Amino acid sequence: MWQNLSLRARINLLLALLLALGLAVNIGRQAAEAGPRVQAEDQSVIRLAREFIEMIVADLNEAPDPDARLNQIARDLSRLRHVSIALQDAGGNPLTPPRPSDDDARGPPAWFVSLVHPEQTAVSVPVSVHGKPGSLVITAHPDDEIAEIWDAIVTQLEVGSVIALALFLVMMTVVGRALAPLQSLAQTMTAIEGGHYDARATPGGAPELAAICGKLNHLAAALGEAVEEKRLLAERAVSLQDVERKEIARELHDEFGPYLFSLRAHASALAKLADGRAPNADSVRKHGSALLEQINALQQFTRRVLERLRPVGLAELGLRQALESLSRLWRESHPDVAIETVISTTLGVTGETADLTIYRIVQEALTNVFRHAGATSVNVVIEPVEQAGGRGYARVRVSDNGRGMEPGQKLGFGLVGMRERILALGGSLNVVSGDGGLTVEALVPTAAS
């Protein structure tokens, strides 16, 4: 049952048990002290009564009528509150009427009297009148003391119960208000679990719970942003794929189609020449040379398309050789631009995914430099770095001395796609434009991480 109780119910139940235990301990202490208290009262009353009797009966034999005087003393002493004094003869037979019982319906219950005063305390004081033996029996009756103790216990129970109930209600209200944010937290978590990342918990209660509410709200906002970024990333990935397919389709249509048409025309011409009785060697040579040129052009075009889809030689030669080959191709096509490539000797093995990502970053950055920057110098630096937690990264920095980007100009699809790819891998890509040109810097997680 305890496991099924809420935190508020557990705290309230423990508080009620503590208050009840405190009240029970206090009442139990008073009940435990009642017996010794009554016993001490008995002894004190009996001692005083005995000393008083011994004093007044000392000159009893000198009285004109000792017997009448003794009976008068016994009758007078029977009216005392805390003791009863009875006259007995030598055989122990009472010579005075017994003390009337005090039937008080409001007195303590019999079980309580038996608990604190199970046996009455009695003392016999011997008395002799003219050589006739007798005794005055003193019996303690601590009824008033027991009633006083019982009234104190009842009062303590009543007042303590009221105070405990008031404290319980106050503490229950305080605990309820302090734990009120828990319900809001539970509702907010349920909403977040259902995909409603705009749900927010209302801060309140104790400072710790208010802090938890604030952190949960921050987490919900971060999750919402992450989900939105994921959706935008998926949209951009689809968009980039469509753009890349369109570009490949356009190149195939604009370049591959004319080459095929030209090859078909020259092949048809050669077929017609072969059908003739005396083929013209110059014509055959002319069409054959044209066919070779078109085939070479198709091979170069195919190599460029394959290079875009998958770098040739990256897996076979490795990242270092592939980047050197890429730089050499750009130098051959743009001899007026100085390209310096520095790859740290401590880079080590980065992994196939990191190799392809690094290659794509350099390829995209160089393509943008030669298309838009108008630069005369390009520096490519690749070196290992280590971030917090011992995770390894490769830093890729491509900088040029071109014109940079215009204020407010957005990144192209190529760099946007590269940034999203690197973010998906756990890295980062930054583009800094200034008067001295443009710098593309990326951190790519390596296989060693």
Judged against a pLDDT cut of 70, whether residue 404 lies above it is answered with yes
Report yes or no: 288 and 297 within 8 Å, Cβ to Cβ: no
Q: Pairing relation of β-strands 338-343 and 377-386? A: parallel
pLDDT at 449: 46
Average pLDDT, integer, range 241-249: 74
Specify the higher pLDDT residue, 424 or 397. Answer: 397
* Most confident stretch, 147-161, 174-188, 242-256, 262-276: 147-161
Q: How far is Cα 324 from Cα 363, in angstroms, rounded to an integer?
A: 11
Q: Sort strands 377-386 and 392-400 into parallel, antiparallel or unpaired.
A: antiparallel
Query: What is the average pLDDT across 160-183?
Result: 82
Phi, psi of 411, rounded to the nearest 5 degrees: -70, 150
Residue for token pair 């890729």: 396
Q: For residue 135, give the nearest of 189, 98, 93 by alpha carbon.
A: 93
% of the chain beyond a pLDDT of 90: 0
Mean pLDDT confidence for 110-125? 75
**Minimum mean pLDDT range among 12-26, 59-73, 365-379:** 59-73
CB 116 within 8 A of CB 167: no
User: Sheet holding 428-434: strands in order across?
Assistant: 338-343, 377-386, 392-400, 437-445, 428-434
Q: Which CATH superfamily is domain 319-449 in?
A: Histidine kinase-like ATPase, C-terminal domain (3.30.565.10)
CB under 8 Å to 143, separation ≥6 — which residues? 102, 107
Q: Which residues have C-beta within 8 Å of that of residue 11, sequence separation ≥ 6?
A: 175, 179
pLDDT tens, position by position, 189-208: 888 888 888 888 888 777 77
Q: Quick check: 261 and 252 in contact, CB under 8 A?
A: no
pLDDT level of residue 106 (50, 70, 90 thresholds): low
Give the lowest-confidence range in 101-110, 194-203, 222-231, 372-381: 101-110
Per-residue pLDDT at 103 exceeds 60: no
The edge-to-edge listing of strands for the beta sheet with 83-89 is 83-89, 132-140, 122-129
CATH level 2 (architecture), domain 2-177: 2-Layer Sandwich (3.30)
Q: How confident is the model at residue 287 (pLDDT cuts 50, 70, 90)?
A: confident
The token duo for 186 is: 């539970």
How many other C-beta atoms are found inside a 10 Å radius of the C-beta of residue 431?
16
- Residue 313 pLDDT class (50, 70, 90 cuts): low
Q: Which of 205-214, 236-245, 291-300 has the lowest mean pLDDT?
A: 236-245
Q: Please check the confidence at residue 323 and state whether its pLDDT lies above 80.
A: yes
Position 43 scores a pLDDT of 78
Average pLDDT over residues 125-132: 66
pLDDT for residue 142 is more than 50: yes
